[in-house]
Amino acid sequence: MTNETNLKQAVPFFNVMNIEASVRYYVDGLGFKMTNQWTPEGKLRWCRLERGDAAIMLQEFWKDGPHANVPMEKLGVGVSICFLCADALALYREFRGRGMQASKPFVGNNLWVTTLYDPDGYRLEFESETNAPEGTEYTEERI
């Protein structure tokens, strides 16, 4: 096995302020499914969420006790996760249909791009290849 084939997947791991709110956002809003979880003392503390071949992990900050680790800084600053997908426009329409605040898609770097921000400010970009001209903005008539 070479070093190149040893790596299988990169999975973003977000520490969040309220894991229940984050799970609702990703599951109900973005269509992810919870595939693993850690629930010490009956409280959800960590989970893995998947949609297609993409995955993320969430863990709530400890707010008190010996493991308290709530940061003083604003979360999500400078963090962008790019989900490469077959059809970003279809996801945009799906997300908007669920009431999500997805940005109007545009073409950048030969990709349709639509952006959302999760409850903690992490930037989520859904992108798919296109031949449309750079800077093109999505309209409902465009397919």
List pLDDT tens digits, range 124-137: 999 999 999 999 99
pLDDT for the residue 141 = 63
Look up the domain containing 36 and give its range. 7-62+74-129
pLDDT for the residue 95 = 98
| pLDDT greater at residue 3 or residue 23 | 23
**Rounded Cα gap, residues 110 and 10, in angstroms:** 23
pLDDT for the residue 78 = 86
**Rounded Cα gap, residues 100 and 61, in angstroms:** 25
Is residue 98 classed as helix, strand or coil in its secondary structure?
coil
List pLDDT tens digits, range 51-81: 999 999 999 987 777 676 766 778 788 889 9
What pTM did the predictor assign? Answer: 0.89
pLDDT for the residue 82 = 97
Q: What mean pLDDT comes out for the span 38-43?
A: 92
**Assigned domain for 123 exists:** yes
**Assigned domain for 40 exists:** yes
pLDDT for the residue 21 = 97
CATH number of the domain that 89 lies in?
3.10.180.10
List pLDDT tens digits, range 24-36: 999 999 999 999 9
**Assigned domain for 57 exists:** yes
**Assigned domain for 138 exists:** no
Report the domain count for the chain: 1
Is residue 89 classed as helix, strand or coil in its secondary structure?
helix
Plot region of 120 (φ>0 → left; ψ -120 to 50 → alpha; else → beta):
alpha
The mean pLDDT value of the chain amounts to 91
Question: 122 — phi, psi (to 5°)?
Answer: -70, 130
